[in-house]
Structure 1
Amino acid sequence: MAAANVLTTREAAIKAARAKEKADVAAREAAAVVLRLFDNDADLVADLLGVSAEELEREAKPISAARAKEVIETLRARAERPSRPRRAPQTRVERAAPSQPASDTPAPASAPDDVRADAA
């Protein structure tokens, strides 16, 4: 049982280390992107973010200009693409609910929609 606990803990530590590395890369890329968007004005960006300019530049340094540009293009493409509305999944009760029986009274007739008539 103790060995299983050690293995589980070790696997969790490995997953956490991988997640930390991914987060570090994302943070470095974000720093490089924001600097590129603000024409590499580290002092301005540092003031906006409330961090030191040296720290910001140190974070951004390992990221190439090409990678920063690629991230910017991805963000722009994502911003331009309209989001699709998502429907909430139906519960089992909603799917299994019987439909309402048709009533004996006819539906009232309505006047044609003016907007549709104009379009035709």
Structure 2
Amino acid sequence: MAAEHALTAREAAVKAAKAKEEADVTAREAAAVVLRLFDNDAELVSELLGVPAEELEREAKPVTAARAKEIIESLRARAERPRTTRIRKPRADVADAASSTSGTPAPVVTADGSRADAA
């Protein structure tokens, strides 16, 4: 049982380490993208984000310009796609439609909690 617990804990640690690495890569890429979008003006981006300029530059440094450009292009393409939205009916309309199509009157609850016919 202890070995199983140790194995489970190790697997959880490996998953957490992988998630942390993925988050670190995403953060580095985001820093590179935002700097590229603002013409590498680290001071301006630093003020906007409240992050020291040196930290932004350090984070963005390992990301290639090609990767940053690729991310920017994918974001632009995603922004240009029309969003698919469903038109939702208000709940009152749905409830009214259901009661009007059923053919049987809805029960009415009286003040004492008993039911009475609506007709």
Instruction: Name the TM-score, length of structure 1 as normaliser.
Output: 0.71
Q: Which of 1 and 2 has higher RCO (CA within 8 Å, sep 6+)?
A: 1
Matches within 5 A, 1:1-120: 1-85=1-85
Q: CA deviation at 1:82?
A: 1.4
Deviation, structure 1 residue 83: 1.9
Large movers: runs of 4+ above 6 Å: 100-103
- Over the matched positions of the two proteins, sequence identity in percent amounts to 74
Structure 1 alignment gaps of length 5 or more: 88-99, 104-120
The number of residue pairs the alignment matches comes to 92
CA distance in 2, matches of 1:86, 1:29: 33
Aligned counterparts of 1:29 and 1:102: Cα–Cα separation in 2: 57
Distance in 1, matches of 2:55 and 2:35, equals 12
Deviation at 1:101, TM superposition (A): 7.7
- The CA RMSD over aligned residues, in Å, is 2.0
Equivalents in 1 of 2:35, 2:67: separation in Å?
13
TM-score by length of 2: 0.71
Offset at residue 85 of structure 1 (A): 2.7
| Separation in 1, partners of 2:32, 2:7 | 38
